[in-house]
């Protein structure tokens, strides 16, 4: 099956910070998830707090190293997408712990997500991502950050400190449903469930260990496009 170059992963994961902004007092939450043979999920949650590091660069490097270490052990690696309140002291951040929204995610994936995507599904996801991006660009939206998530494509739109309110949550939920109704096809679809403020998202540079590999359905590294 596929093997991966650790140097390539180490270079790619640094692109995370083009998507996920960090400040000197940021809290960045890493979430590592691994399914075992008995189908039970093991979840590791680790916050990286700016106050515990000498610099933003030190925080980012520590996150990168831990993410790649756990990924090498077979964990799928995620990060909480939006900024967490600096006063947060809990285990896993929930919606109420999000300071504001600075990203909107459009997640395009195959219909059956139990096992890795095949090439046809991945190509269809990219084609749909481009179609959606062009549609939104015609409507006055800026260019998104485009990511191959391992099994599909993500479009990240940068927001300007949008309030973390129920009204905003509901507006994003309706927006994703409208996009899905307009663009879903029989191969790939837009995930309408990624509207919550504390959404976790795949970390670029890490391998997506979704289901079991087989001929034509291999594990891939998430990467910025």
Q: What pairing do the DSSP bridges indicate for beta strands 145-148 and 220-221?
A: unpaired
pLDDT, tens digit, for every residue of 53-77?
A: 999 999 999 999 999 999 999 999 9
Select from 81, 145, 142, 118 the least CA-distant residue to 215.
Answer: 118
- Report the pLDDT averaged over residues 98-112: 97
- Alpha-carbon distance of 173 to 115, in angstroms, equals 26
Domains of the chain: 6-212+219-224 (3.90.920)
How confident is residue 2, by pLDDT bands cut at 50, 70 and 90?
low
Provide the 3-class DSSP secondary structure of residue 95.
helix
pLDDT at 1: 53
Average pLDDT over all residues of the chain: 95
pLDDT at 203: 98
pLDDT at 22: 82
- Alpha-carbon distance of 100 to 29, in angstroms, equals 15
As a whole number of Å, the CA-based R_g of the chain is 17
- Alpha-carbon distance of 59 to 56, in angstroms, equals 5
- Alpha-carbon distance of 28 to 54, in angstroms, equals 15
- Alpha-carbon distance of 126 to 165, in angstroms, equals 31
pLDDT at 3: 61
């Amino acid at each position: 099956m596929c093997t991966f170059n650790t140097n390539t992963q180490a270079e790619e994961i640094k692109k995370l910070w083009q998507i996920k902004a960090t400040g000197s007092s940021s809290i960045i939450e890493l979430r590592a998830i691994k399914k075992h043979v008995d189908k039970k999920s093991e979840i590791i949650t680790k916050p990286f707090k700016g106050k515990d590091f000498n610099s933003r660069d030190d925080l980012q490097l520590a996150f990168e190293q831990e993410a790649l270490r756990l990924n090498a052990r077979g964990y799928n690696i995620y990060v909480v997408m939006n900024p967490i309140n600096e006063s947060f002291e809990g285990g896993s951040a929930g919606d109420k712990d999000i300071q504001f929204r600075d990203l909107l995610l459009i997640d395009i994936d195959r219909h059956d997500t139990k096992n890795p995507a095949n090439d046809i599904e991945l190509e269809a996801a990219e084609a749909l991502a481009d179609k959606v991006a062009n549609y939104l660009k015609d409507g006055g939206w800026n260019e998104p950050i485009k990511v191959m998530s391992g099994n599909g494509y993500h479009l990240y739109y940068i927001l300007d400190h949008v309030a973390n309110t129920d009204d905003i949550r509901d507006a994003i939920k309706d927006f994703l449903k409208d996009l899905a109704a307009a663009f879903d096809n029989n191969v790939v679809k837009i995930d309408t469930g990624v509207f919550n403020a504390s959404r976790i998202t795949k970390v670029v540079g890490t391998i997506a260990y979704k289901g079991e590999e087989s001929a034509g359905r291999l594990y891939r590294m998430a990467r910025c496009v």
